[in-house]
Amino acid sequence: MLGKEELKALNDYFEEKEPLEVLKWGVEKFYPKIVLACSLQAEDIVILDMLSRVVEKPKVFIIDTGRLHQESYDLIEEITKKYNADVRLYFPDYKDVEDMVNKYGINLFYKSVEFRKMCCEIRKVRPLKRALEGMEAWITGLRREQNFTRGGIKKIELDEVNGGIIKLNPLADWTWEQVWDYIKKNNVPYNKLYDKGYKSIGCVPCTRPVKPWEHPRAGRWWWEQNSDKECGLHYRKEVK
Ligand code: SF4
């Protein structure tokens, strides 16, 4: 495990560096115990494309909540054909899902923030824990400009919520424009929901397209007022 001083020195060093440099460092230090979390967003596929340049067979996990869009499934097929990656799908425990929907309803997430978080916990967070078992590091496509809970993310973090493993956010300082420039220049596959006005990709019932003037994450859990608009995959404990 990295100490706080070492972590700070690494972040000072990598803050001005390109995402590829962060990934090279992560792969050298942790492969094969490093995995990319792919939630089928544009950023995730950009990272997969970069990772493919630094390691022969990147490890990737995708959580299939059971409520994904067809376009997301199509993208899974596309990336598994294009990249020589070890892509694993993780599903929620069927018993947890059965208990939840039989007790609270198939569309319980619209009833309250608590129910919505329960659904995210069962369909996303618990599978995440299994996907991270045995790993020493994971990689995400989080960017600081995505929303208020992500403004302070570092490129290299200690993930206290997930057993103190390392979390790499190589695109932390990238803008939306940089992500799409990379996609166009490198012919990277992307989720076709973006062509339909979506700016952030999640589950079908909890995601909708946004207007050009709206915040990119305004289409996530749009009916909730004053919630943190997070599913729990990226909760952070501040390391002081
Ligand atoms: Fe459930 Fe919606 Fe969360 Fe998906 S985003 S896990 S459907 S509450």
Find the 108 Cα to ligand 1 centroid distance in Å: 9
Phi, psi of 6 (to 5 degrees): -65, -40
ipTM: 0.99
Longest CA pairwise span in the chain (Å) = 51
| CB neighbour class for 53 (10 Å; exposed up to 12, middle 13-18, buried from 19) | exposed
* Tens-place pLDDT, residues 80-128: 999 999 999 999 999 999 999 999 999 999 999 999 999 999 999 999 9
Nearest CA-CA partner of 189 in 72, 79, 81: 79
**pLDDT, tens digit, for every residue of 18-76?**
999 999 999 999 999 999 999 999 999 999 999 999 999 999 999 999 999 999 999 99
Task: Indicate the top mutation candidate among 91, 231, 233 to test ligand 1's pocket, ranked by most ligand atoms within 8 A of CB.
Answer: 231
* Adjacency order of strands within the sheet including 156-159: 86-90, 59-63, 34-37, 137-139, 165-168, 156-159
Look up the CATH number of domain 4-95+131-196. Answer: 3.40.50.620
Output the CA 42–ligand 1 centroid distance in Å.
19
Residues 115-171 pLDDT 10s: 999 999 999 999 999 999 999 999 999 999 987 566 789 999 999 999 999 999 999
CA of 145 from ligand 1 middle (Å) equals: 23
Q: For tokens 């799409």, name the residue.
A: 180
Q: Give the nearest ligand 1 atom to 67 CA.
A: 7
Question: Which atom of ligand 1 sits closest to the CA of residue 202?
Answer: 5
Residues 76, 185: Cα–Cα separation, whole Å: 21
Enumerate the domain spans of the chain.
4-95+131-196
